[in-house]
Every structure is written in C-alpha cells, then in structure tokens.
Amino acid sequence: MKWFITVILCIIIPLPAIADMIYLKNGDVFAGTITRLDSSAVELKLSDGTVKLIDIGDVFRATDDSGNVLYDGSLSPVLPPDVPQQKINPEVTSQQPLLSQDTGEYRKVIKFPLWPLLGGTAILGYVGVTQLSKSAKAYEDSQVLEELGMDFTSKRNQSARQQTLGQISVAGAVACLLIGLTPKYEKVPLKNNIRVTPSPNGFTLSLNF
C-alpha cells in the first residue's frame, strides 16, 4: 500500500529533475547519480559521496536528471549514455569449454554391441523347449502303440524329428546368449576441460575432470 501511494505521488506531484532519482517499491526515494543500472542491481552515488547498491527487484522506477525513465519495472534497464555498460562476448556462452587437454590416463569402458541377439535367445529357447516337450509326448505315444501291437513307426519318427529340432533350437539359444553377452573393451582417454561461465563481474573459470 505504501509503494502504491508513492506511485500516485510520483504521477501527481513529480519531483524537480535535479538529479537521477530512484523510487523503491517500499516508498523510499533516493536522489543522486546512477553509476550502474543492469538486470541485477542499481548503483547510485549520493550527494555525500557514498555509493548505494540497490537490488533491481526492489526498484519501482528510475529516472535521470532530465526526468527520462530509465527503468519502470517492466522495461529492460537502460543506462545513461555516459555510463559504460559491461559487455559480454555473445560467442562465449555459459559452460562453453575453452580448452580440452589429455591427461595421459585412460579408463576402460565395457560395451555389449551384440546385445540384440539376446532376443534370439528367448525365441529359440522357447521353440527348443516346446519341441523337446512334444518329442517326449510323441515317444510315449509310440511306446503305447508298440505295446498294443500297432504301427508306431510314424510316431517314433515324429518324436525323433521334434527332438532334433528342439536340440538345434536350444543350441542356437545358447549361442545367441554367449555372443550377445560377449563384452567389448575400449580405452577412452581422460581429458580436463576448462570451462568459462559469464557472471555480472566478469567470467568464472572452472576445471572439470
């Protein structure tokens, strides 16, 4: 409520433009010379020579000595022409590596490039178990026919074929399992990366391993 009253007073009874003015949201007003105005803070040099640093989030409005609005809470802060702005090279972005240097050391990486063959293990394993089960059932049926004195040759041959197919499928499943789980070792060199991070006061360098 206090800052709202200040807004009304600023509109109805403007102060004489004899200095740069900063109006805060809590109702405080400061006059002096703005030496810094950016997206994080406002720096104001008072008449007694002291410098006051104010967080930009607390500022409602800032004007120059001619009454021009430099900041009103919604516009991007604009510095007066005589106040130099700090420029950051746009080509240097946050966390951009500047230097990559080999350390002479290596780490071992294990990979399984043929892991898709494990799918073949599941399929062939299922087929093999199914055929061996059918082979056992057909062989039991052939024994019953043999005891009854009936022709059991076809059942016995069917059992043999299913047994062969089952054994081949199981062997294929085991082969896929062994090949799919065969590891491949690679040596990867370790590197040190020096990175730069822009900050309001310059740049911060960090060394990442």
pTM of the predicted structure, to 2 decimals:
0.38
Q: Is 67:23 a contact under the CB 8 Å cutoff? A: no
pLDDT digits (tens, 9 = 90+) for 66-110: 888 888 876 555 555 555 544 444 444 444 444 455 555 667 778
The answer on 6 and 67 residing in a single domain is yes
Contacts with 2 (C-beta within 8 Å, 6 or more apart), sequence order: 26, 27
In a domain, 174, yes or no: yes
Residue 199 backbone phi and psi in degrees, to 5 = -140, 165
Separation between Cα atoms, residue 153 and residue 139, nearest integer Å: 10
Identify the CA nearest to 7 among candidates 76, 73, 78.
Answer: 73
Both tokens assigned to 181: 């789980």
In a domain, 80, yes or no: no
Domains of the chain: total: 3
pLDDT digits (tens, 9 = 90+) for 110-139: 888 888 888 889 999 999 999 999 999 999
The answer on 51 and 20 residing in a single domain is yes
Q: Note down the domain range covering 141.
A: 113-182
